Amino acid sequence: MSYQCPLCQQPLTLDDRSYRCSNNHQFDKAKEGYVNLMPVQHKRSKDPGDNKEMMQARRTFLAHDFTHRCEIR
């Protein structure tokens, strides 16, 4: 699976325990194994995280149970 930088949309590459783009934006991997890609300046905004359209898309995806078709590595 590939990720892109939420700040500049450049590809992110894993470097030790951090994901980094060519513009040197860095996102650290938590000890639990996840990576938070939410930019710091958005965490305290009025609308942090997913908007209504993103939530609806997630609900639609989960309602169709596509997960059994995906190979998780």
* pLDDT digits 0-9 by tens, 15-70: 888 999 999 999 988 888 888 887 766 556 566 666 778 778 878 877 876 655 55
Confidence of residue 13 (pLDDT cuts 50, 70, 90): very high
Task: Record the tokens describing residue 35, joined without a space.
Answer: 């990576």
What DSSP state is assigned to residue 48?
A: -
Neighbours of 35 (CB within 10 A): 14
What pLDDT does 64 receive?
Answer: 78
Q: What is the pTM of this model?
A: 0.54
Q: Identify each DSSP E strand in the chain by its residue range.
A: 3-4, 11-15, 18-20, 26-28
